[in-house]
Amino acid sequence: MTKTPYKKCVHCGKCLSSCPSYRFFLKESFSPRGRNLLIAKNIDSYSFNYCLLCERCSKVCPQGISFPESYIKAKFSKGSFVLHPSDSLIFLKVLPFNQIQIRELDEKKLSPYFKEGDFYVYLSCGLKHLYPEALELTLSKIRHSPMKPHIPEGQGCCGIVFLGLGAKEVVKNYAKKLLTLFSEKKTLLTFCATCLWMIKRVYPQLFDVEQEKAAFEDLANRTYFVIEFLRKMDYSLNLKEKDDILYHLPCHLDFSLTSELNLLKGRIEDFCCGSAKLTLWLRGFQREFSKHWRRRTLDKEVLATACTGCYLNFSSQLRYPPKVKHWLELWV
């Protein structure tokens, strides 16, 4: 029988320096090693709420153990349900931000792509409300391509907000909806690193029925970060090069280390934003955690990221400058 992730932990401690919440609290119970031990002993802990779901621990662990995976398998075993909107960024209307304004994508402009196309585009919350220009610019750049995008109507959240709340059944509902929308065997592109992580890493873990699990594993295998796909299509992706632009590597994009990092070689910095978990926002954690990365932005005009959560977190903690943008808003 395959061991559950937390039971494979040998407590070597290599995960400590990679874990943002351990580096912040400097307490063993806030480390991946400590949390795995607590789960193995069936002890619930306040520290679980401060797991940022970044999976940085799995990248350095000799056993490849991911505490978020352990948490999902151990703590999401019981069903849970809460009332939820189809669009999770409705929370933006009640949360304070320094520089952000909701920008609504005009979905009527996308009507030519509603019915058919050669590859899917996931119209995530970020594309709808935060950086619609990234999608609009991309569509204008590829308009002469023989391959056409397919953007089905009725798309919504990937469910990351409710993963942080431990609402398994809600996340599964979001997953099933996306599977229905993207049912044909086409490549699926996402502009958001966390949506990429949810589809590729989280969804397959949530379903035990063999047929459902296989369907979500197939969806994961045909999901790509947009820049990776465009590079494979031989598009010349030139992003603006200026000393006052900082390109940020989201934690969840690091699981797709392919051509997008070569594209930004020497111009990208890898640090954790502090997570965009709603529960941590309400506790003020991100404000305190921002002290770990603010200094990197002091002389920058633009901070470019590729994740809705990072975009939200940076926008909530920073006043202009720098201006927060999506990578593809800087495509020239």
**pLDDT tens by residue, 13-23:** 899 999 999 99
**pLDDT tens by residue, 95-140:** 556 666 677 788 888 999 999 999 999 999 899 989 999 999 999 9
pLDDT the model gives residue 323: 94
Over residues 278-305, the mean pLDDT reads 92
Say yes or no: 219 and 243 in one domain.
no
pLDDT the model gives residue 162: 87
pLDDT the model gives residue 294: 94
Supply the range of the domain harboring residue 55. Answer: 5-75
State which of 27, 47, 75 marks the end of a domain. Answer: 75
Structurally, how many domains does the chain consist of?
Answer: 3
CB 134 within 8 A of CB 160: no
pLDDT at position 332 over 60: yes
Say yes or no: 71 and 96 in one domain.
no
For residue 322, say if its preceding peptide bond is cis, omega within 30 degrees of 0: yes
CB 159 within 8 A of CB 175: yes
Say yes or no: 271 and 318 in one domain.
yes
Query: Residue 122 domain-assigned?
Result: yes
We report the CATH number of the domain holding residue 31 as 1.10.1060.10
**pLDDT tens by residue, 67-97:** 888 777 776 655 555 555 556 666 665 555 6
Say yes or no: 211 and 174 in one domain.
yes
**pLDDT tens by residue, 211-269:** 999 999 999 999 999 988 888 888 878 889 899 999 999 999 865 545 556 667 678 89
Say yes or no: 182 and 160 in one domain.
yes
Of 192, 197, 200, 85, the closest CA to residue 132 belongs to 192
Say yes or no: 94 and 152 in one domain.
yes
State which of 186, 201, 229 marks the end of a domain. Answer: 229
Nearest 5°: CA angle at 256, between 162 and 203? Answer: 30
Nearest 5°: CA angle at 296, between 293 and 302? Answer: 110
Say yes or no: 261 and 216 in one domain.
no
Say yes or no: 68 and 106 in one domain.
no
Say yes or no: 221 and 245 in one domain.
no
Over residues 157-181, the mean pLDDT reads 90
Query: Residue 81 domain-assigned?
Result: no
C-alpha 23/C-alpha 8 separation (Å) is: 23
pLDDT at position 273 over 70: yes
Query: Residue 80 domain-assigned?
Result: no
Over residues 295-313, the mean pLDDT reads 94
Tell me the C-alpha to C-alpha distance, in Å, between residue 135 and each of 17, 132, 272.
Answer: 36, 5, 25
- Looking at every residue in the chain, the average pLDDT score rounds to 86
Whose structure tokens read 């997953």? Answer: 175
We report the CATH number of the domain holding residue 288 as 3.40.1360
Say yes or no: 27 and 134 in one domain.
no
Say yes or no: 200 and 272 in one domain.
no
pTM: 0.90
pLDDT at position 3 over 80: no
Task: Give Cα 163 to chain centroid, integer Å.
Answer: 12
pLDDT the model gives residue 278: 80
State which of 16, 42, 75 marks the end of a domain. Answer: 75
At 39 the three-state DSSP class reads helix
Say yes or no: 93 and 223 in one domain.
yes
The pLDDT > 90 percentage for the chain reads 49
